[in-house]
Amino acid sequence: MPDRDERYYRAYLQHHSVSRRGLFRGIFSGFKKASENEQIKELYRESPRPPGAVEEALFVQLCQSCDLCKSACPEHVIEISQSRPVINLDYNHCSQCALCSDICPSGALASENKDIGLRPFFQKNCINSISGNCQTCADSCPQQAITVQQKKRPEVDNNRCDGCGRCRSACYIGSIEMQFKYSG
């Protein structure tokens, strides 16, 4: 991660407005997090984050636990776990609408990387591996990351997949499970 100097923060503030409440929340939460995270040198993501989440160590420091991203999510897939937002795709998919990133006052969701960190796992009861006539998951994938061959389970291109979960929502058999496999 490149060092961020005064020019970076000046450019950031020119494009983002900071309210008085947000400023004080950021200052006071910074003191609290500084004592909690004094020993953090390198953190690895252990749970799926909303689209646009910055690197985990920076995310933990920036996130103010304000829950604005949760309330902004039209699909209601953002939950709060250990006072941080995580994605739960058990009942819906993420439309990658970026409303959570737009409303985040701290910049914790300001990354260009929209990968959630989840990947589909196709179970043995996938109807394509039985009958060979189903392409529902591949057709629903906006990234075209799923390829289907006759009488085989679908395969995922991890470099193209962003973990949105549309394939899981589209599967009428329920044979897709989203598993956390973050590599970024």
- CATH number of the domain encompassing residue 124: 3.30.70.20
Predicted confidence band at 184 (pLDDT cuts at 50, 70, 90)?
low
Indicate whether 40 belongs to any domain: yes
Per-residue pLDDT reduced to its tens digit, 65-100 = 999 999 999 999 999 998 999 999 999 999 999 999
Mean pLDDT of 24-31: 68
Domain's final residue, options 74, 103, 132:
103
Indicate whether 12 belongs to any domain: yes
- For 75, the domain range is 6-103
Instruction: Note the pLDDT of residue 34.
Output: 57
Indicate whether 113 belongs to any domain: no
Mean pLDDT of 117-130: 92
Does the pLDDT at position 41 exceed 50?
no
Indicate whether 34 belongs to any domain: yes
Q: Longest C-alpha distance within the chain, in Å? A: 60
H/E element, 168: helix 166-170
Q: Could you tell me if 129 and 97 lie in one domain?
A: no
Mean confidence (pLDDT) of the chain: 86
Higher pLDDT, 81 or 182: 81
H/E element, 79: strand 78-81
Q: Could you tell me if 11 and 95 lie in one domain?
A: yes
> How many domains does the chain divide into?
2
Q: Could you tell me if 126 and 98 lie in one domain?
A: no
